[in-house]
Amino acid sequence: MHIMSSQLNKVKELIAFRERARLGGGITKINSLHEKGKYTARERISLLLDEGSFEEFDMFVKHRCTNFGIDKKQIPGDGVVTGYGTIDGRLVFIYAQDFTVIGGTLSETGAMKICKIMDMAMKMGAPVVGINDSAGARIQEGVNAMAGYAEIFQRNVMASGVIPQISVIFSPSVGGTEFSPALTDFIIMCQEVGGVSHFVVDNEEEGLLQIRELLKYIPQNNLEEAPLALCDDAIDRLEYFLNEIIPDEPNKPYDVLDIIRAIVDDGRFLESQKFYAPNIITCFAHFNGQSVGIIANQPKILAGVLDINASCKAARFIRFCDAFNIPIVTLVDVPGFLPGTSQEYGGIITHGAKLLFAYGEATVPKVTVVLRKAYGGAYCVMSSKHLRGDINYSWPTGEIAVMGPSGAIEILYAKELNGFENQQEKTQFIAEKETEYKDKFANPYDAAKYGYIDDVIEPRNTRFRVIRALQLLATKKVINPAKKHNNIPL
């Protein structure tokens, strides 16, 4: 009986320890968070993961620092909750910073907890989700706190392209806290936080739901395919309005999102960086249940032109898709690269080359549809056949040329145009030459003649043709030359 009593006491002691650890910095600080409309670290994890799936590690870890009296503030867990669970039945590793413990500052031991989780995620081949809510490094620890951050950064780098890394930021990001999310694949932020993010949400609940939605489109790791979604949307569904969506006037805009909604499964897609460089669209969607990444010029914003920000945004998205075996569908309506001194001084050529490099390097299936304009270097860059585009289609409205008719005529007939004294005769001459130029180049058939366009398709049939192309490319095998790593123009 004495042995049994002793064992029961130890069990009760364990239960008490757990209850203490789960309180973090204490009920007063928890209530303070709730009054601000915020959740605790464990509450956030509970909202994100499947019910009852969370298994916590290192609940009893405490920091080892004695500087500036901080040894009197040793709280179990040390400001970070770590462990694993499932989202829609899929394994996910997770850490969440606890702002109730010394302002959520990250200690060396807290960093090691995060590193342990990241190492396990690499072994198991599962995504890592980091919920950031911190005042930065723990100043009292000096170099040890910085060492802890650097250890996390190194793991972010090694995990890049191997397992998906998703960061959520629910408070202003300070000091070293900024760098780890910047090294991950996707960042989700609340609107009041601000900064550069891939997804902006109104509140914490929406942010956590956004993670669950994002994971529907991406695989567990770089050796797997993205999960197939259930699809009862007919692959041969025809969208007749697409036959008339391109305006007769060449400079009149339209919304490319209307085209995306029309061709993807059930009209649903998940747009990344919606408010950044909106002249190009990057989003995930499904075609017959298969996850794809879509890059599309947006004619209603800056005529869909490529500029510095758009090039970087699309290049980053393409490289994620390529790293994680997600096919790329490109919808092209691009008049060229944005001219101007600000773009030139900002390095438009270097940044445009990032997009070119990303497309040229990608080995996943690549399907391209030219909707309207595909001019000059921008035609080359936007997943053309010459950058190993696998299947390249064009609508009948496609215009594939070095430049538009008006600009071309000014160059081709500069001498003749300077010789006109009668303005009416000059105008008539320009009209005739522009018609001649359009007949020759402002259509997809010249490119199709050389095999640079595999087929000119009817717009209403785009969904079916894209799905058939993706089915064809399901067994594609391309290996880039052996190298330590490439040298993308940064």
Q: How would you write the pLDDT of the chain (490 residues) with one tens digit per residue? A: 455 688 888 888 889 888 888 888 889 989 988 998 889 999 999 999 999 999 999 988 877 766 776 777 777 778 899 999 999 999 999 999 888 777 778 888 888 999 999 999 999 999 999 998 887 777 777 788 888 889 999 999 999 999 999 999 987 666 667 789 999 999 999 876 755 789 999 999 999 999 999 999 999 999 999 999 999 999 999 999 999 999 999 889 999 999 999 999 999 999 999 999 999 999 999 999 999 999 999 999 999 999 999 999 999 999 999 999 999 999 999 999 998 999 989 999 999 999 999 999 999 999 999 999 999 999 999 999 999 999 999 999 999 999 888 888 889 888 888 888 888 888 899 888 888 888 888 889 999 999 999 999 999 999 999 999 999 999 999 999 999 999 999 8
Closest CA to 472 of 454, 446, 447, 460: 454
Q: Classify domain 240-404+442-475 by CATH architecture.
A: Alpha-Beta Complex (3.90)
Q: Which of 176, 293, 304, 398 is catalytic?
A: 176
343 Cβ contact list (under 8 Å, min separation 6)? 307, 308, 337
CATH of domain 19-215: 3.90.226.10
Other CB atoms within a 10 A radius of the CB of residue 123 amount to: 10
Q: Which of 161, 175, 289, 346 is catalytic?
A: 175
Q: Is the pTM of this model over 0.95?
A: no
| CA distances, 286 to each of 18, 164, 269 (Å) | 43, 19, 7
Token pair in block for residue 316: 């980053």
Q: What is the 3-state secondary structure (H, E, C) of 3-28?
A: HHHHHHHHHHHHHHHHHHHHCCCCHH
Closest CA to 392 of 308, 307, 474, 450: 450
Q: Where is 207: in which H helix or E strand?
A: helix 204-215
Q: Answer yes or no: 293 catalytic.
A: no
Q: Residue 102: its pLDDT value, please?
A: 75
Token pair in block for residue 468: 């058939």
In the DSSP assignment, the letter for residue 452 is S
Q: What share of the chain is helix, strand, coil (3-state, %, to 5)?
A: 45, 20, 35
Other CB atoms within a 10 A radius of the CB of residue 206 amount to: 14
In the DSSP assignment, the letter for residue 2 is H
The structural domains of the chain, with segments of one domain joined by +, span: 19-215, 240-404+442-475
Is residue 212 within 8 Å of residue 168, measured between CB atoms? no
Q: Answer yes or no: 340 catalytic.
A: no
**Exposed e or buried b for every residue in 414-423, given b needs 16+ CB within 10 A?**
eeeeeeeeee
Q: Which of 378, 401, 442, 469 is catalytic?
A: 378
Whether 240-404+442-475 and 19-215 are alike in CATH topology: the answer is yes
Q: Answer yes or no: 352 catalytic.
A: no
Phi, psi of 341 (to 5 degrees): -65, -35
Cα gap 113→127, rounded to integer Å: 16
Q: Answer yes or no: 419 catalytic.
A: no
| CA distances, 313 to each of 277, 282, 338 (Å) | 7, 8, 15
Cα gap 245→237, rounded to integer Å: 17
Cα gap 33→361, rounded to integer Å: 47
Amino acid at position 407, single letter: G
